[in-house]
Structure 1
Amino acid sequence: MTERINLMTEEPGFEKAISGSSSPSTILLVDDEKLARMVTRRRLERLGHKIIEAEDGKQAMAILEEHGADLIISDWMMPEMDGPTLCEAVKAHEKLRSTPIILMTALDQPAQIAEGLQRGADDFLTKSASDQEVTARVNAGLRTQRLIDNLERSYEVIAQKQSEMDAELKSAANFVTSLFPKAGEIVPGIRLDWEFIPSLGLGGDLFQVTRWSDEYLGLAILDMSGHGIGPALRAVSLALKFRADHMAQSHPTYDPGEIIASLNKENPLTDEGEYFTIWVGALHLPTRRLRYATAGHPAVVLTRNDQPLQPIGAKTWPIGFGIEEVYQSEEVSLQSGDRLYLFSDGIYEVFSPAEELWDRTGFENACQAVHTTPLKQGLQWIVQQAKDWQHQDTFFDDVALVGLEILS
């Protein structure tokens, strides 16, 4: 390009445009002709900006990588690396790609402008542009850069806050997990193991397997509505009600229906729609008789040697939906070789890429398939089946899966 902008005299109104300009910024001016750079530099400095010069695109990239710039104004035709190639290099650079670029052209040619846009230019100036146009386009480019800078700083603040919250959630999740029972032979003749996968780093699911007395082992699993810190805190507060001392004082008969009815009266549905589902069991250790009751929670699965799978639970309203709701206890006798699976609905409410639901049928089949597999391995295999079904390792909802095996 041989035509150059005639900048030897400023047009009327130029000083007025200067007065409206923003705070000083750094502009990289790229042109292989020294005289053209000198004239353009003089004009831009009158706008109050700091100017850095480069003779071609290659030199410009070296300057940008070391110092950066708020705006690039580049000639089109240059040796080593021309303007469009410089645009491509800048936009391909991870740290420079947001820097606005104005390409200088000889004429207002649509084909040339289209090429420049395709290769990364953000704006254009013709060689014959007026002072007012140059000022307007430069200020527009700098405004864009300031907006991008503000967004990047905001993103950094948000990322930092998110990191802090993630750390807090992890700490809280570790605390919640510390409330879970230890795996192993929890009482003579009964083995326990479990898998727990919160969906957002902290879940509203909680389970307890606790020795309530010399004769009773208490079982409970609940699922709070919602996810995050609030539901987890509500679940933790409820877990305290299943301690042996509280049960002995408040529910000395250890009747699950009575326990759930009491919870229902104490926890009405809130204005925010907060509620929870729960399954409670009381296993009489000398006789292996299990009394149980449920409030809106999925029925526990019982698998037995050479017998069909048996759901242990009833269809009832969740806690808080009706203060006068009646929750009845039912009973089943357990025997050596039986397994109980307590779980939340997050384990089976998973969809395949084709939007097919795994559902309870798939889950129950998986429980039946691992009946004779070592308990821990069986639980892990069931969880893996759910992951395989949805073709991903993360879950939309919290996943709690507890296995209890009657050894003798």
Structure 2
Amino acid sequence: MGPGAPCRVLVVDDSKMQRRILSAQLARSGYEVMEADSAEEALALCEQVEPDIVLSDWMMDGMSGVDFCRAFRQMKRAGYGYFILLTSKTEKNDVAEGLDSGADDFLAKPVNGAELRARLSAGERILRMEKELKDKNRLLHSAQEAIERDLSEARKLQQSLVKERHRSFGAAEVSLLLRPSGHVGGDLVGFFPINARRVGLYGIDVSGHGITSALMTARLAGYLSGSSPEQNIALFLTEYGIYDGRDPAELAAYLNQLVLDEMQTENYFTLIYADVDLISGEVAMVQAGHPHPVLQRADGNVEYLGDGGMPVGLLPGAEYETFRTVLAPGDRLFMVSDGVTEAAPTDGEMLGELGLARLMRRSARLRGASFLDAIYWDVESHAGGALTDDISAVFFEFHGAKTAVD
């Protein structure tokens, strides 16, 4: 039933007189009428032309109206077909049988003209609603496809924020892991040179999920740019014309005020930041709501560092604390998002710090991307293959003091 086209009605009855009476009534009311003298003929006709409404007698020679209705419902159609059974049956069991066969309505014989028009009008309303719903679903499907394409491109753009997943500094190396749970996520990891002997490492986890969080990570990536030191707020230019790094606690406080003043968003984020000296192995860090960074010694033992701290962008005037440690040759620093430590199977326990330490000891002999891949698959396995949060990590391996050759 196209827009403006008359509704097509199929009349099925083995009584020629009954068909003529019904067809005449329908034609006067503006319907396009087709006739069949048996259910078998009607099925063959329906294969060629799809009726919008079927008026079928219940009792006919050969296939009954109820059996015809069942067969009609099994046919492949472009749209819904409204089926009305004509019957003198009034028993509840008979009505139940008709409904069970797929009939939408009943008309008592002999058919009253006013009642016929009322039942057909009801059927047309159902068909119009079904068509409108299909049209809306079609538009919705097209919109969803467009959104999926946009999100796929957004995922590529977000992944491009982490331009370099691994770098060797000769006597040390850093590897990054970033895997959103959806198309886009709120995690960000990265590193940048501070000067010839120091490197900054960071992990960020924006509250919430989806596009808003992803847009905020893109903004934050610009604040901590490794390719444009003049735009990196973790750096400042000294009087000697060279860059130095802000104290980690000072950086967190500066970011906190910047987010509250400029972004004006309800989102906040957790931060872990480390300023690593590639020669001495000294590390200055700040923890702002992020999971505790993990120090794995050369012998495989694991230590958790930091005292927590307030997330960034949550409260004005929040104070942060710089803490320090020293890496010895063979030590590894591991900074993860809470998607790792809070990974859990349905109705199961979170991995937690003890679980992460166990996984790290298990993979202590692996290096770089191989270590990160092993941790990721172990975390996913712990969660039963159903990770619900973004997973990100910064993995720094210290092999010894950087030399001039490095």
Normalised to the residue count of structure 1, the TM-score between the two structures is 0.85
> Aligned equivalents of 1:301 and 1:93: distance in 2?
63
> Aligned equivalents of 1:58 and 1:404: distance in 2?
77
Deviations 1:242-289 (A, max 9, x none): 123324337833321111110011112987632111111111112222
Structure 2 counterpart of 1:8: none
Once the two structures are overlaid, the 10-residue window that deviates more, 294-303 or 263-272, is: 263-272
Structure 1 counterpart of 2:384: 391
Structure 2 counterpart of 1:351: 344
**C-alpha displacement of 1:78:** 4.3
Of residues 314, 329, 336 in structure 2, which corresponds to 1:336?
329
Structure 2 counterpart of 1:235: 217
> Aligned equivalents of 1:90 and 1:386: distance in 2?
52
**C-alpha displacement of 1:235:** 1.0
Of residues 303, 318, 321 in structure 2, which corresponds to 1:310?
303
**C-alpha displacement of 1:166:** 1.3
Of residues 206, 209, 213 in structure 1, which corresponds to 2:191?
209
3-state SS of 1:249 partner: strand
1:280 aligned onto 2:273? yes
Call closer, same or farther: CA 1:72–1:267 in 2, change over 3 Å.
same
AA partner of residue 316 (structure 2)? I
Give ranges in structure 2 of 5+ residues lacking alignment: 238-242, 401-406
> Aligned equivalents of 2:172 and 2:37: distance in 1?
81
AA partner of residue 50 (structure 1)? E
Deviations 1:97-144 (A, max 9, x none): 743222222222211110121222221112224222211111111111
3-state SS of 1:273 partner: coil
Call closer, same or farther: CA 1:257–1:58 in 2, change over 3 Å.
farther
Give ranges in structure 1 of 5+ residues lacking alignment: 1-21
3-state SS of 1:392 partner: coil
> Aligned equivalents of 2:384 and 2:345: distance in 1?
7
Of residues 231, 246, 266 in structure 2, which corresponds to 1:254?
246
> Aligned equivalents of 2:76 and 2:249: distance in 1?
62
Call closer, same or farther: CA 1:167–1:137 in 2, change over 3 Å.
same
**C-alpha displacement of 1:43:** 1.6
Of residues 307, 317, 325 in structure 1, which corresponds to 2:318?
325
Call closer, same or farther: CA 1:279–1:143 in 2, change over 3 Å.
same
Mapped contact 2:194–2:244 kept (Cα < 8 A): no
1:183 aligned onto 2:175? no
Mapped contact 1:254–1:282 kept (Cα < 8 A): no
Once the two structures are overlaid, the 10-residue window that deviates more, 202-211 or 347-356, is: 347-356
Structure 2 counterpart of 1:70: 52
**C-alpha displacement of 1:228:** 2.0
Mapped contact 1:90–1:97 kept (Cα < 8 A): no
Deviations 1:193-244 (A, max 9, x none): 3433323311111111222322221111111122222221111111111123
Once the two structures are overlaid, the 10-residue window that deviates more, 235-244 or 30-39, is: 30-39
Deviations 1:330-386 (A, max 9, x none): 111123333333222123333323344333433332233212134433323332333
AA partner of residue 254 (structure 1)? R
1:218 aligned onto 2:189? no
> Aligned equivalents of 2:258 and 2:313: distance in 1?
8
Once the two structures are overlaid, the 10-residue window that deviates more, 333-342 or 292-301, is: 333-342
3-state SS of 2:260 partner: coil
Structure 1 counterpart of 2:25: 43
Q: How many residues align?
A: 386
Identity %: 28
**C-alpha displacement of 1:60:** 3.9
AA partner of residue 112 (structure 1)? D
3-state SS of 1:267 partner: helix
Of residues 386, 397, 402 in structure 2, which corresponds to 1:405?
397
Call closer, same or farther: CA 1:60–1:291 in 2, change over 3 Å.
farther
Mapped contact 2:173–2:397 kept (Cα < 8 A): yes
Deviations 1:273-319 (A, max 9, x none): 32111111111112222211021111222222334312233211111
Call closer, same or farther: CA 1:354–1:110 in 2, change over 3 Å.
same
**C-alpha displacement of 1:151:** 1.0
Call closer, same or farther: CA 1:151–1:79 in 2, change over 3 Å.
same
Deviations 1:127-180 (A, max 9, x none): 224222211111111111111111111111111111111111111110110111
